Amino acid sequence: MATTKNPPPKEKGVSIIDKNLPSFGSDKQLEASIGKQVRIARKNAGVTLQQLSKQSLLSASMLSKIENGQISASLKTIQLICHALNISITSLFKQHDKDVDPTFIKSGNGLTIERAGSDESRHYQLLGHTVGGSLNVEPCLITITSRDYEFPEFQHKGVEFIYMLKGQMDYYYGTKIYHFKKGDSLYFDSDKPHGPKKIISDECQFLTIICTNNSD
């Protein structure tokens, strides 16, 4: 396995940093599905295995085995491939999601991910992946443990739903500000600037579900 001199820059979308991916069907099915999607993405990008090897800093033989479903790629390896091909990690699971059983994740076992603004006081747990060919659904549990946190501005395609589970915060959408308490929710078109404005409690926790159309 090739080694990297420096880690790739964080993706604007999802960048997985946890070691364990929630189960999405059998390992062999997942390996074959991911390999197929990697091959499709590579060919769509018009690059050879050797070129992808250079861009991802992974050996061509390893990439070939991944594409053929012969080995199980680590999350670090998947991240390197996706960065090199300029695709999201969740896009590799979209075909596999059509054929697998429902995803059940025990409390606290969501997949830890990085996003813009994530640090020791802002934690993201991914609770699922794409559930359809054209539709991308991303449920995520967000926990904020600092009132002094400085928030980045979010703006992206799709629609978003937020449900407050714990604490209080002010959340802005465009020019409007909404005061959230436990049980409050907000549904909106996420192409306008949005994000937490002020954390009022020592700890806030909320569920966010982002839906996008893969054809956009």
pLDDT confidence of residue 215: 62
Buried b / exposed e along 46-72 (16+ C-beta atoms within 10 A) = ebebeebbebbebebebbebbbebeee
Structural domains in the chain plus CATH codes: 15-98 (1.10.260.40), 111-213 (2.60.120.10)
Q: How far apart are CA 112 and CA 110, in angstroms?
A: 6
pLDDT tens-digit readout, 84-140: 998 888 777 766 555 556 677 788 777 776 555 545 566 778 887 654 456 788 899
What 3 state SS string does 147-211 have? CCCCCCCECCCCEEEEEEEECCEEEEECCEEEEECCCCEEEEECCCCEEEEEECCCCEEEEEEEE
pLDDT score of 199 more than 70: yes
Of residues 60 and 5, the one with the higher pLDDT is 60
pLDDT-derived band at 18 (thresholds 50, 70, 90) equals very low
**Residue 25 corresponds to which amino acid?**
G
Which pLDDT band, with edges at 50, 70 and 90, does 153 fall under? confident
CB-based contact 179:170 (threshold 8 Å): yes
Cα–Cα distance measured from residue 106 to residue 53, given in angstroms and rounded to the nearest whole number: 37
Structure tokens at 120: 């020791």
Structural contact between residues 19 and 94, judged by C-beta atoms closer than 8 angstroms: no
Specify the pLDDT at position 95: 60
48: nearest Cα among 84, 15, 7: 84
As a whole number, mean pLDDT of residues 62-75 equals: 87
User: What's the whole-number mean pLDDT along residues 140-161?
Assistant: 85
- Decide: 9 and 113 in contact? Cβ < 8 Å: no
Would the pTM of this model clear 0.75, i.e. be above it?
no
Residue 210 phi, psi dihedral angles, 5° rounding: -105, 130
Residue 50 has pLDDT above 90, yes or no: yes
Give CA torsion, residues 7, 9, 14, 17, to 10 deg: 20
pLDDT, tens only, 25-45: 445 667 888 888 899 999 999
Position with higher pLDDT, 205 vs 14? 205
Say if strands 169-173 and 176-180 run parallel, antiparallel, or are unpaired: antiparallel
Q: At residue 204, does pLDDT exceed 60? A: yes
- Kindly state the tokens that stand for 193: 């600037």
